[in-house]
Structure 1
């Protein structure tokens, strides 16, 4: 969808579109800022989040100085077309204070797998030295797939010959490496959870 084709009610809001930024993996609200039509156009075309600074009177890309950028996953407007919700994959903390969110920290998510995926995505983006996860991304798809094959064999072995505790541990190892593969292929956790939701109906 092109920005110039959007029927936005910008006159009603003095030319500036309130934009809520949400983490696509955890659902946490990260920040609120404003876009004009040009910032919206650049956001759509570059897949990076741009805003209009009301104090500096210019466009700015989130992360242009800190490198903590926001990669666009999806966006949608409210019913009046005068507010935007944009879902992102953040690279590093969003708030200038160094916190994850400009609204402060929130209680830990009850979705442990979503939290795990977010950590993996962060390792992919930052590639910290000494990180096993980062080393998998650096090694590439063949290495990641080899680890999945290895962990699958460990699960079969645990199921046949070992304890339930060991089976759980090996299952988590497989899930972890599967998440690494999904992140490598650019597949977000939300896409996986949505597919799971489709399968709730009995077959």
Structure 2
């Protein structure tokens, strides 16, 4: 596997003729999870290089498509690799939301659930849903409602009845805190870094 800077020199290296104008493109996130397989044409690759937004060629629709243009589940391309035969590509991307059209993080396997995954889901719903469609969006649009829910859940955590109830209430509180973080553009990594700083 060879590494290439994301620039137009790549267009002169690749062998588009072998695949009748299309090059198979494997897509991975920055944690090396394989997300999907798509196809790049010379034109789609030019747009990817220009915008850093993953752009592919749809064989079924016979046209270019920018990942996430309609769904909001976009991919920001961080690195591009090409193989030893110059006829396959690997995009390393920052995945926003889901990669698969069926609603899973990956077309090959669903990503293990984590707070980071939940945070991405929350952000996706805030950015791409209406208040009628999503309770998360409604919370994000109404500061008073969100803060009142956080206060309510704090009291329920304090007044837990047993271990199972405490787990339930902490999960509720965590969700509302993550919504607040998303509205304030605070990433989980910033919280981890602050905790790490305090641990010194």
Q: TM-score, normalised by structure 1?
A: 0.59
Unaligned 5+ segments in structure 2 are none
Match of 2:188 in 1: 192
Provide the aligned C-alpha RMSD in A.
Answer: 4.5
CA contact under 8 A between 2:22 and 2:40: conserved in structure 1? yes
| Equivalences for residues 1-203 of structure 1 within 5 A | 5=7, 7-8=9-10, 11-14=13-16, 18-22=24-28, 29-36=34-41, 38-43=43-48, 48-53=53-58, 58-62=63-67, 67-73=70-76, 75-78=78-81, 82-90=89-97, 94-95=100-101, 98=102, 100=104, 103-106=107-110, 109=112, 111-124=113-126, 125-127=128-130, 129=132, 131-139=134-142, 142-143=143-144, 146-147=147-148, 150=151, 153-154=154-155, 158=158, 165=163, 167-186=166-185, 192-193=188-189, 196=192, 199=196, 203=200
TM-score by length of 2: 0.60
Evaluate the alpha carbon distance shift between residue 63 and residue 73 of structure 1 in structure 2; reply closer, same or farther with a 3 A threshold: closer
Aligned length: 185
Asked if structure 1 preserves the Cα contact closer than 8 Å seen for 2:97 and 2:120, the reply is no
Residues 1:44 and 1:175: Cα distance change in structure 2 (over 3 Å): farther
